Structure 1
Amino acid sequence: MNANKLKNRWLIAASAVGIHISIGSVYAYSVMTNPVKEIFDVDGSVIKWAFKIAILLLGLSAAFLGRWVEKVGPKISGTTAGIFYGIGILGSGLAVQLESLILFYLCYGVIGGIGLGLGYITPVSTLVKWFPDRRGLATGMAIMGFGFAALIFGPVMQSLFDSVGVSNTFYILGAIYTVLILSSARYIERPPENYMPAGYNPGEGKTLKTDMANIDANASLKTTRFYYIWIMIFINIACGIAIISAASPMMQEKLNYTPMEAAAIVGLIGVFNGLGRIMWSSLSDYLGRANTYILFFVFQILAFYLLPKISMEITFLIILFTVITMYGGGFATLPAFLGDLFGTKQLGAIHGMVLTAWGLAGVVGPTIYDVVKNATGSLDATLGVFAGLFVVALIISLLMKRLVLKAYKGIEERNLKLAY
């Protein structure tokens, strides 16, 4: 590939957004719970198992297929993601039509979940390679699409359920997702080896530096920093998911909201989740990735400790929405941070392994919340537990900062010796 045939890197980013907006529709699952449960004549909790299976398979497929994604490249893995996710949604329509709950679990949960995992990690290492100067911004744009997808497809789903029925809705959405992902995958590709955008000189500035290393996934597992980042992400997600899953009853308890008013706040949570992904990942290009996570944890220690004590509506909501931006920002800043820590050699595979924290946190966070809340009946005690977890995350993030500074100091000393 010569310079004249280079693809537009911003269109590469747009293609990544196309993939993530499609698979991110999984976050609108609550919209389909009631219509689907009526078809199968079961409780909503039974239908939610398809969502849980899908998220579990997202984490597992991201972890175990990450090396394959790196090997075959984004075009093939993106196409495969589109096929799996499309078949999963189309098959869900058939399952509804046949009234087969097992087939619904298989299609939406297993097949669709594999498509989710592949689609989530496919654009990441590619974007990091195209945007060495703006890693946070580029990956944040794509992962913002995942966060905003529920706002786009949620109303579309409800409108289709009302107008064409449940099974036909799955058929229509399956076709839309398949076309969008496959067309996005056709354009996305890796840049040339050692690609640098015009005018970018790695090493200039205070936060945009050369990578600490450029190692493969197996080698990353032998480093301390892999486990530091895994713990940081696990705690950020566990605490964030816990508060998101309990947002509606919390609004009703603390602010005396009606269920409808609380539902409106849940909708706004989706907005701030998406905004946080692009905002914090972009800021991390200037603040530094380690500093961004330190800021997350310092603020959230105070936020989780103070939230139960605040009765003033506007203050409560400002703190809550800021926490939600940091939840989304943790996801979006992660790929760029991994690029800094491990390089881009097998970034997709490393990202996939770290995403196992997501699958585990999705179970642990809400479970801790429910157990402590039921045992104590106190929101103070419940959120206090999460504030304590953030203290652990802060300590780990400070150790990570120390490790990063030490590594870069070593790189600078080696470069100075080479210069002489």
Structure 2
Amino acid sequence: MRTTDGQVAVPYREVTDRHGRAYRIGESDVDLMGRARVWMAVLPWAGMAAVALAGCAFAVAGEVLHGARPWSDGRLLWPLGVWVSCQGAVALSTGRLRASGGLPARVALPLGAAATMVAGLLLVCVPDAAPARLGFAVFGGAGAGIVHATCVTTAGRWYPDRRGAATALVSGGFPYGLVPPAFLLAPRVEVHGHATVPAVLGAVGCLATASIGRLFEEPPRNWWPARIDPLRPGGAAAVRPGTARNPPAVRQFGPGEAARTPVLWLLWCCLLCAGGVGVLGLAFEVPFGRSAGFGGGVVSAALFAGAVVNGVGLGAVGLLSDRYGRRATLVVVCVALGTAQFGVPLSGRLGSQPFFLVCVLLSGLTGAAVLPLLASMTADCFGENDLAAHHGLVHSATAAAGPAVAALGAGPLGARDFHGAFVLAGSLGLASSVLALFLTAPGRPKVRRVVPNPQPLGEEMA
């Protein structure tokens, strides 16, 4: 039994529910690590914010040095696709290593910070723009993937009873980390033309990520909060909100077992569609806003406000998923994600800047909410013990979404076919909502409608 130095070992016991799943109860979070488990939501949130700060700040510094206008050059679409692809691919290997114990959380975050630092050095030091962007995309995506997979799954394991709120809160740290670099992109900021400040900001973000990772703790396998009875899924509604709508997995699935179930691949396909929407939106919303004559101020305001709204909105979406059910929330989010894509070109036709801003904010919020919702659903379906491996496999869908979008950017969409890009993005968003309707946990008995007996016992006996 693992305890913190200076702590007295607390006895625990394992109980089994009617499905045969084991729960380790009797140990509180304070018994295990000497502090409340809220720290395992705050620290991952800070780690996500720090790595986002580092990556975006280095991107700003690199584009200033290479003489490009950030997020306005069509040639920047292919590095974005490579970055997303590397993030998803590394998440898969990171999950496998973490599930097997080969990559503890305290090592994973410094490793991700080191990869991000290498990415920044390549982008700032390599004189040729194309190799510099390629190196930044590969190492930056890898570093972000390691940090994201570690932070989300660590919080999810410490909060098996309120997983939606915890994972959404942690994911909300990423957009908050984008706020300072987005401020540096504002046209009226004097530091806009200099690369020193964003480069230093990126180095600080890497150092903060590595330092935060050294404070991470992980719960034992099968751990369950001591104050919650896992054998009463319908009770203690005040303590376990939404348990009836988000029951725990019937048992702990291994990585191989989960991969043989259709549910995992439905999760994968759902993220593939939603991830494609997110990349297309990020690549085309800003150029479209400028081509529609909305002006750089509106576009910068959309980026800045989007980061703030996403950070707050993700927490709200997580709370709603805990209360009203993960699948229902995911369906609504995906429908809103697809609808927002159709609204962006409509705002250009109407010439409405407020409508454009609303569509961009809604697109960013719903697109960012899909991944933590799917991470929570993955644990609801397959358990927490190997959550890192399961989440990494689902997250690998973004590795396929990145090259696909990059190829589209090099093809017909690269010619600034904004209408076709947003129609494709909206269709992918609606397709992900259809896939979400079929997400059910494997092994859980379905509730069937009870048909009343047409001949009640009283009438038969009369």
Q: Secondary structure at the match of 1:284?
A: helix
In the superposition, relative to structure 1, how do residues 339 and 265 fare at CA in structure 2: closer, same or farther (>3 Å)? same
Residue 36 of structure 1 pairs with residue 65 of structure 2:
yes
User: Is the deviation greater in 180-189 or in 51-60?
Assistant: 51-60
CA distance in 1: counterparts of 2:412 and 2:211, whole angstroms: 47
The Cα of 1:304 is off from its aligned counterpart by 3.9
Structure-2 residue corresponding to 1:417:
none
Structure-1 residue corresponding to 2:288:
250
**Paired residues, what number?**
400
Alignment match of 2:107 (pick from 73, 76, 79)? 76
> Following superposition of structure 1 onto structure 2, how do residues 12-411 of structure 1 map, counting pairs within 5 Å?
12-25=40-53, 26-28=55-57, 31-38=60-67, 52-70=81-99, 71-72=101-102, 73-90=104-121, 92-93=123-124, 95=125, 99=127, 104=132, 108-155=136-183, 162=191, 166=195, 170=199, 172-173=200-201, 175-202=203-230, 203-204=233-234, 205-252=243-290, 256-305=293-342, 307-309=344-346, 311=350, 313-365=353-405, 368=408, 379=419, 382-400=421-439, 403-404=440-441, 407-409=443-445
Structure-1 residue corresponding to 2:17:
none
In the superposition, relative to structure 1, how do residues 257 and 368 fare at CA in structure 2: closer, same or farther (>3 Å)? same
In the superposition, relative to structure 1, how do residues 107 and 396 fare at CA in structure 2: closer, same or farther (>3 Å)? closer
Structure-2 residue corresponding to 1:415:
none
In the superposition, relative to structure 1, how do residues 111 and 338 fare at CA in structure 2: closer, same or farther (>3 Å)? same
Question: Does structure 2 retain, via aligned residues, the 8 Å contact 1:29–1:51?
Answer: no
AA in 1 matched with 2:361: F
In the superposition, relative to structure 1, how do residues 372 and 387 fare at CA in structure 2: closer, same or farther (>3 Å)? farther
CA distance in 1: counterparts of 2:358 and 2:80, whole angstroms: 30
CA distance in 2: counterparts of 1:109 and 1:385, whole angstroms: 24
- Taking structure 2 as the reference length, the TM-score comes to 0.74
Cα RMSD, aligned residues only:
3.7
In the superposition, relative to structure 1, how do residues 247 and 52 fare at CA in structure 2: closer, same or farther (>3 Å)? closer
In the superposition, relative to structure 1, how do residues 129 and 374 fare at CA in structure 2: closer, same or farther (>3 Å)? closer
CA distance in 2: counterparts of 1:153 and 1:260, whole angstroms: 16
CA distance in 2: counterparts of 1:263 and 1:182, whole angstroms: 30
The Cα of 1:135 is off from its aligned counterpart by 0.7
Question: Does structure 2 retain, via aligned residues, the 8 Å contact 1:63–1:356?
Answer: yes
In the superposition, relative to structure 1, how do residues 367 and 213 fare at CA in structure 2: closer, same or farther (>3 Å)? farther
Q: Secondary structure at the match of 2:217?
A: coil
AA in 1 matched with 2:306: I
The Cα of 1:141 is off from its aligned counterpart by 1.8
Q: Deviations over 1:206-231 (max 9, x none)?
A: 22412144212222221111111111
CA distance in 1: counterparts of 2:116 and 2:76, whole angstroms: 18
Question: Does structure 1 retain, via aligned residues, the 8 Å contact 2:276–2:402?
Answer: yes
For the pair shown, the structure with the greater C-alpha radius of gyration is 2
For structure 2, which runs of at least 5 residues remain unmatched after alignment?
4-9, 11-27, 235-242, 449-462
CA distance in 2: counterparts of 1:178 and 1:393, whole angstroms: 34
The Cα of 1:284 is off from its aligned counterpart by 1.1
For structure 1, which runs of at least 5 residues remain unmatched after alignment?
413-420
Structure-1 residue corresponding to 2:22:
none
The Cα of 1:287 is off from its aligned counterpart by 1.9
Identical pairs, percent = 19
In the superposition, relative to structure 1, how do residues 161 and 75 fare at CA in structure 2: closer, same or farther (>3 Å)? farther
Q: Secondary structure at the match of 1:24?
A: helix
In the superposition, relative to structure 1, how do residues 86 and 34 fare at CA in structure 2: closer, same or farther (>3 Å)? closer
The Cα of 1:319 is off from its aligned counterpart by 4.1
- Taking structure 1 as the reference length, the TM-score comes to 0.80
Q: Secondary structure at the match of 1:9?
A: coil
The Cα of 1:100 is off from its aligned counterpart by 6.5
Question: Does structure 2 retain, via aligned residues, the 8 Å contact 1:245–1:366?
Answer: no
Q: Deviations over 1:303-336 (max 9, x none)?
A: 4445544535545543442232111111222221
CA distance in 2: counterparts of 1:64 and 1:341, whole angstroms: 21
